[in-house]
């Protein structure tokens, strides 16, 4: 059984600040962290491995597309129990939208020898489209379950999960191979073990550029991306709030008038 | 060449709206909201609005006429039991087959759990762009280029996205953003219902063993009024104060994550990135700091009244009205006045 966990490096959440003058994202320090949803996906994979009759038969690979420094995050995943890591890194991958990212990741999965199960986070906290998981499933023509809150069991042919759906939670039997995207709260990622730290020190993270991953140059990066961000701005509601003055009684009186005028 | 591309793109026309149905076969409110906006876009562009309705064979028969009355010129209707279980792969192939043949310029989906699983499956198979979770849609009348605006970085940033060289242009759109149109019986009479088939090849693969429905009371996503309690509410006992305020307003109670974590309220109350997105007409937040993971879920609220004792609380950055003070006291006083 081969489980591939897709992990994205994202800015540490406290560093997502806006420069009020230039309206751009300030990435002070540039300290990247593993997307919190992907940490949960990795823990889910590690628990599948732990629960297997022969844990050694379950291989957990971590896969990322990102800058060279992302290799350190993959190494950290190995310290926590993943078996190996693959990084897709090349200037040619830069500027990818979800379609181009999905294509690159699919090349990475091929390079890893395919997969029985792909685990993604429900979404990345920066781009937050939640599209990569279902687009990977579509690429391989595999079934998909999104926003999974519990993996109940994994058999060679099928996995049983509970997943959030519109207005409820569904229990699903998903035939393998498949893609699952997991909720943040499904599992908290474990700490590295001593053995894991030692393994991570010696393991070499495989890094593939566009050419070595046999990627079609027209399908990656900016040129392989159908969507373009043409403008970005800070929502104008910020700091526009009207202050309601007075003590609690006066404030309540003003608010009551306001609410009564709203025709709810 | 640019001319070849222009003529290739010109072959695509009309605005399609995917009309998601619930487990009883009724179209969701967001389907009607999207038809309302689609009509406006189609009027600018001088094209038609087409609704896609897939249902199980025993689902209610009146949904297609309802979609026509809400502004669709045509409903592409498929009643087939393979569509009954909302298997995203079957739906994706169904839509891809129709789009390949009929070439829509735009396809809109509700940014529901199902819509956000389905639309990427269509995008990757058609090899086109998809903008996630949009809150604003505009169109260039001459080129038909859709300007799709969406929040990213947990709502801290808005981005406008275009898909210049690929068709169809596709977006998922947040529920509760656009107004559902008035029912127009005349429009419904002019409209057309076209039966379309689902190819034999597409069969559901995911087996649905059980669905635990959220009860009607367990849903805060469609509330018109929401009172959201944060850690500043102080104690589990004080939650009753927030609940009473919600009750006098005919609203529901939401909360921040720490309240769920400490077991004060169940998960379905949680608003934010790992909870639900809400779009009430009025949101009153009590003792909420305004972390980006929380306000990521409140971007659709029309009016936000925030009560916080800290005059510099970040929540005021996304509020319409700023009330500095003790939230329990203000909530009690306000409840009393609204009851009077
Ligand atoms: C402001 C802004 C808005 C954007 N809007 C759109 C848009 O509407 N449509 C669009 O197509 N693109 C959009 N993009 C681009 C897109 O966000 C990313 O570039 C794309 O690479 C990943 O998408 P995501 O971050 O949304 O990931 P999501 O789809 O939210 O991520 C889900 C999961 O996919 C996996 N994953 C994602 N990226 C990687 C990676 N690099 N390596 C390994 N695993 C990964 C992780 O498991 C992750 O949890 C936008 C970018 C910005 C900056
Ligand atoms: C990956 C990730 C996902 C997350 N997802 C979510 C999510 O979906 N939803 C969510 O809510 N959070 C989420 N969080 C947590 C989020 O970052 C914040 O920690 C959380 O929203 C804070 O909740 P709070 O505002 O209730 O509490 P606090 O941050 O403790 O704020 C309490 C506020 O109450 C004020 N206050 C105190 N006493 C009073 C009083 N008597 N009267 C008036 N005001 C008072 C204080 O000034 C303060 O501003 C997530 C975090 C992460 C890392």
Digit-coded pLDDT (tens) for A33-60: 999 999 999 999 999 999 999 999 999 9
Q: Which fold has domain B216-339?
A: Rossmann fold (3.40.50)
Which position has the token pair 């805060």?
B220
Residues 6+ positions from B161 with CB-CB distance below 8 Å: A227, A228, A229, A230, B129, B131, B147, B148, B149, B150
| Binary contact (A147, B113; C-beta < 8 A) | yes
pLDDT category, A236, cuts 50, 70, 90?
low
**Among chain B residues, CA nearest to A238:** B317
Quick count: other Cβ atoms within 10 Å of Cβ B185? 9
Q: What is the pLDDT of residues A133-162, one digit of tens each?
A: 999 999 999 999 999 999 998 888 999 999
Q: What is the pLDDT of residue A167?
A: 82
Closest CA to B179 of B281, B249, B290, B289: B281
- Residues 6 or more apart in contact with residue B43 via CB below 8 angstroms: none
Mutate to test the interface with A, among B96, B122, B123, B279 (most CBs of A within 10 A): B123
- Assess whether the C-beta atom of A116 lies below 6 angstroms from ligand 1: no
The whole-number average pLDDT for the span A112-130 is 95
Domains B2-195 and B216-339 share a fold: yes
What pLDDT does residue A22 have?
A: 56
DSSP state of A241: P
Average pLDDT over residues B288-305: 89
The structural domains of chain B, with segments of one domain joined by +, span: 2-195, 216-339
Question: Which candidate from B161, B250, B274 shows the least CB-CB separation from A227?
Answer: B161
Confidence of residue B340 (pLDDT cuts 50, 70, 90): confident
Beta carbons of B283 and B294 less than 8 angstroms apart: no
Cβ of A241 and B317 within 8 Å? yes
Find residues 56-115 of chain B whose CB sits inside 8 Å of chain A: 86-89, 92, 112-114
Note the pLDDT tens digit of each residue in A158-216. 999 999 998 889 999 999 999 999 998 899 999 999 999 999 999 989 999 999 999 99
CA end-to-end span of chain A: 55
User: What's the pLDDT at B151?
Assistant: 84
Domain spanning A2-239: CATH superfamily: HUPs (3.40.50.620)
CATH of B2-195, one of 1.10.1660.10, 3.30.300.180, 3.40.50.620, 3.40.50.1820: 3.40.50.620
* Distance from chain centroid for Cα B310: 33
| CA quadruple A49, A55, A57, A62: dihedral sign | positive
Among candidate residues A131, A135, B178, B36, the one with its CA nearest the CA of residue B15: B36
């Amino acid at each position: 059984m081969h489980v591939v966990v897709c992990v994205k490096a994202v800015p540490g959440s406290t560093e997502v600040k806006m420069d009020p003058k230039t309206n751009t994202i300030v990435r002070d320090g540039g300290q990247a962290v593993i997307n919190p949803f992907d940490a949960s996906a990795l823990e889910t994979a590690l628990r599948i491995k732990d629960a297997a009759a022969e844990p050694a038969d379950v291989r957990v690979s971590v896969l990322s597309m990102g800058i060279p420094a992302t290799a350190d995050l993959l190494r950290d995943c190995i310290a926590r129990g993943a078996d190996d890591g693959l990084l897709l890194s090349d200037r040619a991958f830069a500027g990818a939208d979800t379609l181009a990212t999905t294509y690159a990741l699919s090349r990475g999965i091929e390079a890893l020898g395919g997969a029985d199960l792909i685990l993604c986070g429900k979404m990345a906290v920066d781009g937050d489209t939640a599209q990569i998981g279902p687009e990977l499933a579509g690429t391989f023509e595999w079934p998909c379950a999104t926003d999974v809150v519990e993996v109940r069991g994994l058999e060679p042919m099928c996995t049983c999960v509970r997943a959030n759906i519109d207005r409820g939670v569904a229990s699903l039997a998903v035939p393998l191979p498949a893609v699952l995207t997991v909720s943040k709260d499904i599992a908290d990622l474990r700490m590295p073990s001593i053995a894991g730290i030692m393994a991570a020190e010696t393991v070499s993270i495989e890094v593939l550029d566009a050419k070595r991953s046999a990627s079609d140059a027209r399908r990656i990066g900016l040129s392989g991306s159908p969507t373009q961000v043409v403008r970005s701005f800070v929502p104008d509601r910020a700091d526009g709030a009207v202050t309601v003055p007075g003590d609690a009684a006066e404030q309540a009186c003003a608010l009551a008038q306001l609410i009564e005028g709203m025709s709810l | 060449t640019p001319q070849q591309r222009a003529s290739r793109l010109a072959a695509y026309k009309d605005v399609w709206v995917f009309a998601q149905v619930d487990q009883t076969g009724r179209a969701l409110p967001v389907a009607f909201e999207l038809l309302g906006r689609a009509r406006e876009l189609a009027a600018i562009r001088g094209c038609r609005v087409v609704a896609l309705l897939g249902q199980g064979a025993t689902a209610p028969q009146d949904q297609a006429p309802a979609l026509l009355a809400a502004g669709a010129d045509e409903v592409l209707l498929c009643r087939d039991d393979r569509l009954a279980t909302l298997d995203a792969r079957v739906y994706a192939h169904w839509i891809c087959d129709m789009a390949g043949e009929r070439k829509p310029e735009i396809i809109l989906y509700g940014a529901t759990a199902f819509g956000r699983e389905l639309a990427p499956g269509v995008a990757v198979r058609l090899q086109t762009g998809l903008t996630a979770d949009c809150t604003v849609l505009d169109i260039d009348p001459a080129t038909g280029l859709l300007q799709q605006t969406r929040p990213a970085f947990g709502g801290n940033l808005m981005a406008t996205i275009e898909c210049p060289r690929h068709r169809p242009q596709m977006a998922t759109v947040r529920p509760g953003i656009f107004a559902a149109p008035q029912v127009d019986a005349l429009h419904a009479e002019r409209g057309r219902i076209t039966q379309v088939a689902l190819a034999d090849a597409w069969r559901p693969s995911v087996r649905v063993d059980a669905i635990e429905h959220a009860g009607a009371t367990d849903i805060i996503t469609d509330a018109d009024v929401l009172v959201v309690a944060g850690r500043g509410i102080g104690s589990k006992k004080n939650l009753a104060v927030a609940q009473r305020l919600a009750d006098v307003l005919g609203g529901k109670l939401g909360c921040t994550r720490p309240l769920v974590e400490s077991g004060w309220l169940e998960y379905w109350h949680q608003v934010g990135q790992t909870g639900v997105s809400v779009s009430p007409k009025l949101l009153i937040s009590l003792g909420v700091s305004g972390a980006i993971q929380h306000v990521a879920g409140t971007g659709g609220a029309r009016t936000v009244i925030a009560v916080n004792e800290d005059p510099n609380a970040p929540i005021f950055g996304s509020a319409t009205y700023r009330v500095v003070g003790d939230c329990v006291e203000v909530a009690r006083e306000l409840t009393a006045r609204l009851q009077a």
